[in-house]
Every structure is written in structure tokens, then in C-alpha cells.
């Protein structure tokens, strides 16, 4: 149970933040990948809020959010493929020097999202740890604070 609570807290902290791509982003390619991350954040927040009891469990809404998360995760590779930069971007150069590694982290999120059992609250709670772990694994390696 402690593990579940920690995972949910991790998810919520990853999911916290602005609702849209960073202000001041001018490169449209960078904006698109930030918007994608914000979509991922929003879907994860919906699932995390339910898992954490902040909102009531709703299997239909959870299914919608899970699908949105998996679809968005499936777009990461294509949105990050162009090596574009912007003064406000947090994309690390390692994304493009190690695109295979980056791709496998993106696939990790797709797998984790698809594996979430949204038919019950317990299933949702059990699945969120892997989702949060997938965000963290990629951010640690490929998202640099500037
Ligand atoms: C395969 C790698 C990868 C995965 C998986 C990943 N991210 Fe990201 N994320 C990034 C990178 C790289 C950036 C920085 C992009 C930039 O600033 O150019 C980022 C940025 C973000 C941002 C900031 C967007 C903005 O407007 O600047 C949020 C929010 C975010 N990610 C949430 C998440 C959440 C939540 C998850 C998991 C459900 C997740 N990410 C999974 C690579 C990833």
C-alpha cells in the first residue's frame, strides 16, 4: 500500500504544472512536442486524481484517459524526431545522440499506459506506478533543466 501511495504521489507531482506549453516558446516544432507532453500530463492527472481518491473512480472516464495517454505516448517518437531547439526547451541533446534509447523510453510509457487495468480502482492504483516510473525514466535521461 505504501508503494501505491508513493507512486501516486510521484504521478501527481509529475502531472502538476501549467496546462499549456511553456510561455514564450517560438519554435512551432518544439511547441508541438510540449503540447503533446501537456496532453500526456492531463491524461495522467485524470488517472492519478482517481487513483489517489481526489476524484471518484469512474471506469468510463478512466478508459478515455487511458486511451488518450496511450495514443499520446505513441506520438512521442514522431514529435521529438526533428532535432529542434528553443530557448525555453528542456529537451536534452541526448534525445538525438541516443534516439534509440529515447524511443525505448517512449515505448515504455506506451506499454505502461496500455497495461493499466481501468476496470477497477484497485487495478488503476496498481497500474499508475509503472506510468509514473516511465515518465521519470525518460525525464531523468532526456529532459534537462536549463
Ligand atoms: C520518451 C521520453 C518521455 C516520456 C516517456 C515522458 N516525457 Fe515528458 N518530456 C520529455 C522531454 C524530452 C521533455 C522536454 C521537452 C522540451 O522542453 O522540448 C518533456 C516535457 C514534459 C512536460 C513539460 C512540457 C512543457 O510545456 O514544457 C510535462 C508536463 C511532461 N513532460 C509530462 C510528462 C508525463 C506526465 C509523462 C508520463 C505520463 C511524461 N512526460 C513522459 C520526455 C518524455
- Domain positions in the chain are 2-142
What number does the ligand 1 atom closest to the CA of 45 have? 35
Rounded to the nearest whole angstrom, what is the distance from the C-alpha of residue 40 to the centroid of ligand 1?
8
Q: Which residue has the cell 505513441?
A: 74
pLDDT tens digits, the chain, 146 residues: what are they? 445 454 444 444 444 444 567 889 999 999 999 999 999 999 999 999 999 999 999 999 999 999 999 999 999 999 999 999 999 999 999 999 999 999 999 999 999 999 999 999 999 999 999 999 999 999 999 998 65
Would you identify the CATH topology of the domain 2-142?
A: 1.20.120
Distance, in Å, from the CA atom of 24 to the CA atom of 16, rounded to the nearest integer, reads 19
Distance, in Å, from the CA atom of 75 to the CA atom of 78, rounded to the nearest integer, reads 6
Question: Under 8 Å CB-to-CB from 121, ≥6 apart: which residues?
Answer: 50, 51, 57
Show the ligand 1 pocket: residues with CB < 6 angstroms.
Answer: 14-15, 17, 21-22, 30, 33-34, 37-38, 40-41, 44, 76, 89-91, 95, 102, 105-106, 109, 131, 134-135, 138-139, 142-143
pTM of the predicted model, to two decimals? Answer: 0.89
Amino acid at each position: 500500500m505504501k508503494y501505491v501511495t508513493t507512486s501516486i504521489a510521484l504521478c501527481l507531482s509529475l502531472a502538476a504544472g501549467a496546462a499549456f506549453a511553456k510561455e514564450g516558446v517560438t519554435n512551432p516544432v518544439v511547441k508541438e512536442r510540449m503540447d503533446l507532453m501537456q496532453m500526456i500530463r492531463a491524461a495522467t492527472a485524470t488517472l492519478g486524481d482517481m487513483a489517489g481518491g481526489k476524484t471518484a473512480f469512474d471506469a468510463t472516464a478512466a478508459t478515455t484517459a487511458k486511451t488518450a495517454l496511450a495514443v499520446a505516448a505513441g506520438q512521442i517518437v514522431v514529435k521529438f524526431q526533428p532535432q529542434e531547439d528553443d530557448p525555453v526547451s528542456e529537451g536534452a541533446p541526448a534525445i538525438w545522440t541516443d534516439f534509440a534509447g529515447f524511443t525505448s523510453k517512449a515505448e515504455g510509457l506506451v506499454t505502461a499506459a496500455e497495461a493499466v487495468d481501468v476496470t477497477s480502482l484497485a487495478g488503476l492504483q496498481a497500474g499508475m506506478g509503472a506510468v509514473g516510473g516511465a515518465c521519470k525514466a525518460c525525464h531523468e535521461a532526456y529532459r534537462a533543466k536549463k
